[in-house]
Amino acid sequence: MNYYYQKMTLALRVMALLACTQVNAGTNASCGVSLPKQAPAGSLIIGRANAGSVLTLAGRKLQLAPDLRFVFGAGPDVRQMTLAVRANSCKANVTVMITPRTWKTEIVNGVPQNTVTPDPATQKRIQAEGALISKARALESAGLGWQQPLIWPAIGRISGIYGSRRIINGQPSSPHLGLDIAAPTGTIVKAALSGKVSLRHDDMVMTGKTLILDHGFGINTVYIHLSQINVIEGQEVSAGDKIGAIGTSGRSTGPHLHFQVQWFQEKLDPALVLPGLFK
């Protein structure tokens, strides 16, 4: 072994050691994983890791894309997310602190009363339909649509925002975890990302005509209260394809698109990923 070779191996060893301990300002970097140190509640978070890394978050093994990126998301009430990383002999926990936000209160009246205080038969339907939605959200495919920048699924007035605490027909309701875009019935609704239709339902009590698209790695988008649906389950769509039209089906007081972005069951804030909003 010559002198230069020895020096090079030593440098590589030092670099490998640093990779396990180095922390950059504003970014976590451990065992070759790069992640933001903090992110606001509702964020979709994209990280990077070395090839062959094993990444586990809340008991779930994360997929690593061919470009070595991975994705997860923090719902509205999450305070921190810790990723366990194993890469060769390097082992580390990388934590992203989730910054709390304050939420608005919105008063909504005129909602069909059977969706606010449903009778037992309707309640049963709501539960069964909720299970179908949960199943679609649980899907984990190898699709890479999540790597694209999102496009607006419809053009209109923002009539409801993520996180608001809603008083519906005088009753406190669960938080609103999507973005409402109000526009006339029939306004085109587009796929926000490329993906595959994982759920199509023409008549759900709460959400009316309902679509869920799977974009891979647990990222999915939801389009509800539609007046028409132009795609079928299993169909591949490209970002920007027409998938339906705005309506007011389900628990709704006027024509609008309720749009959600999710990582599995974690509901994320579309305003943080759509271009040009609150940036």
| Binding residues vs Zn ion (CB under 5 A) | 160, 178, 180, 258
Sheet of strand 69-73: strand arrangement: 27-30, 33-36, 44-48, 69-73
CA distance linking residue 183 with residue 59, whole number of Å: 41
Q: Based on CB atoms, which residue is closest to Zn ion, 163 or 195? A: 163
Q: Which residue, among 45, 267, 231, 230, has the nearest Cα to 137 in the 3D structure?
A: 267
Cβ atoms of residues 226 and 189 within 8 Å: yes
Please, which residue, 160 or 208, has the CB nearer to Zn ion? 160
Could you tell me if 108 and 75 are in contact, meaning their C-beta atoms sit under 8 angstroms apart?
A: no
Q: How many CA atoms lie within 13 A of 30 on its CB side?
A: 18
How far apart CA 151 and CA 226 sit, in angstroms, is 18
Q: What's the closest the beta carbon of residue 224 comes to Zn ion, in angstroms?
A: 8
Nearer to Zn ion, 196 or 201 (CB): 201
Q: How far is the CB of 258 from Zn ion (least distance, A)?
A: 3
Least distance (Å) from Zn ion to the CB of residue 205?
A: 15
Smallest gap, in angstroms, from Cβ of residue 162 to Zn ion?
9
Q: Are strands 219-229 and 242-246 parallel, antiparallel or unpaired?
A: antiparallel
Residue in the shown chain whose Cβ atom is closest to Zn ion: 258
Contact between 139 and 220 under an 8 Å Cβ cutoff? The reply is yes
In the bound state with Zn ion, the residue whose beta carbon lies nearer, of 145 and 270, is: 270
Min separation Cβ 127 and Zn ion, Å: 20
Select 258 or 267, whichever has its Cβ closest to Zn ion: 258
Q: Considering the complex, what minimum distance in angstroms separates the CB of residue 209 from Zn ion?
A: 14
Tell me whether residue 190 or residue 258 sits nearer to Zn ion (CB atom). Answer: 258
